[in-house]
Structure 1
């Protein structure tokens, strides 16, 4: 997914991200503003995933939640 598109839709999908990754705070989700690399870093840190696992998880999340907002 195009990162610019994610940033534009981030406010709409941030709540879904909170449902998936409840250990990441609202403030942290606001700060990443849809940046996949930053979000993957938080997922890696909070959930003990490898970098590759976190990147794949974030990519899958964005792919599932893209849509017309």
Structure 2
């Protein structure tokens, strides 16, 4: 899915999605790699959540809640 598609789906601008993705890459929650001219992002599911109240929980735990 392209960032443009995510923006449309969520109802925010593509620029806002780019800023959010950059923040998540900088926080090592997403890993960025190149696939030709496109970027691919991989969720680092074992990373801990950033907020101090949730810091003892991982991204994978959060993702399991959505199932």
**Larger gyration radius, structure 1 or structure 2:** 2
> Which is richer in strand?
2
When normalised by structure 2's length, the TM-score is: 0.33
When normalised by structure 1's length, the TM-score is: 0.33
